[in-house]
Amino acid sequence: MRVGVLTGGGDCPGLNAVIRGVVRKGVQEYGYDFVGFRDGWRGPLEGDTVRLDIPAVRGILPRGGTILGSSRTNPLKEENGIRRIKENLAKEEVDALVAIGGEDTLGVAGRLADEYGIKVVAVPKTIDNDLSATDYTFGFDTAVNIATEAIDRLHTTAESHMRVLVVEVMGRHTGWIAIHSGLAGGANVILIPEQRFDVDQVCAWVTSRFKASYAPIVVVAEGAMPKDGDVVLKDDSLDSFGHVRLSGVGEWLSKEIERRTGKEARTTVLGHVQRGGTPSAFDRWLATRFGLHAIEAVRDGDFGKMVALQGTDIVRVPISEATARLKTVDPKLYDEVGVFFG
């Protein structure tokens, strides 16, 4: 058996741990051969491969990023994409694929498996933790730790100057990083894409915090939207690579807070620092288990499935179950943390 492996979408701490788990178990227990495809779906589309064996995965467990490279290439949008993929898989004598990715990469994986008979097993990744059917994706815990450490540090500088500190964290569609890091870091306001926020309410919380002689920390997910600021923030235009660019809700909010409360405010945008560097112990644990279970699914011929964490068990679910809809923050959870606002 020869197995192809690819990593697609935004990179994420733990990708290398999955690759290592897949290859080590595949080689040592099942005697499989592997080939790596470079840059997500671009690899099989263009026949761009890289050697993938035990020496290639040695020492990569704690390394961030992905040794295979990543891209957001979507073969379903390319001319003759499916035919080219099938030809390159045949040329490389690949019997099965392990695709590691988020919503977009796995959306393609699901369609290739269900509609085109390509033998794919999927592994969910995203720092945003917004894939359905799995309790957690690896990368999320690392991102939350990085954001929490940043919030801790911002508390002391905010207090010293009695300023408002607005921290913009990742989360284009969902507020998982915001709500976890905000709660862990003791933020006074947490704003998420799932619920539009009222700037006057935010300013009231900020003011009440000052009245108690503390400097407020506002955590805002990059995809959060104000009730009354649509026109300013609604910039869904695509950049020259076809990616959606969000338009700086953190900076916008700081200015609004200054204007409406008369208090000085600063913004910190954490950005890609949340995706970089070494994975946390939890993410290494989860990513490694996903890798081991993914190659077991290949061995079982259980294609069109994604490995997922449910409770403490790793299970297999149809890929489409994970990609059909995003896993958003439950309003009850948001209400629960609201007790700390203000």
Which residues contact ligand F6P by CB under 6 A? 10, 126-128, 170-172, 222, 243, 275
Residue whose CB is less far from ligand F6P, 41 or 341: 41
235 annotated as a binding-site residue = no
Instruction: Report the residue number, 98 or 221, with the smaller CB distance to ligand F6P.
Output: 221
243 marked as part of a ligand binding site:
no
Q: Is 158 or 246 the residue whose CB approaches ligand F6P more closely? A: 246
Q: What is the dihedral of CA 238, 240, 243, 249, to 10 degrees?
A: -60
Give me the catalytic one of 11, 39, 104, 128: 128
Minimum separation from the CB atom of position 167 to ligand F6P (A)? 14
Buried b (16+ CB within 10 A) or exposed e, 210-236: eeeeebbbbbbbbbbbbeebeeebeee
- In whole angstroms, the minimum distance from the beta carbon of 102 to ligand F6P comes to 6
**Is 85 known to sit in a ligand binding site?**
no
Considering only CA atoms, which of 144, 143, 141, 159 is closest in space to residue 217? 159
Exposed / middle / buried, residue 173 (Cβ in 10 Å: 0-12, 13-18, 19+): middle
CA-closest candidate to residue 169, choices 244, 130, 226, 220: 220
Question: Is residue 192 part of an annotated ligand binding site?
Answer: no
To the nearest whole angstrom, how small is the minimum distance from the Cβ of residue 291 to ligand F6P? 19
CA–CA dist 333, 223 (Å, integer): 18
Catalytic-residue membership of 128: yes
At closest approach, how far in Å is the CB of 171 from ligand F6P? Answer: 5
- Give the residue numbers of the binding site for diphosphate: 10
> Hey, which residues are catalytic here?
128
- Give the residue numbers of the binding site for substrate: 126-128, 163, 170-172, 222, 266, 272-275
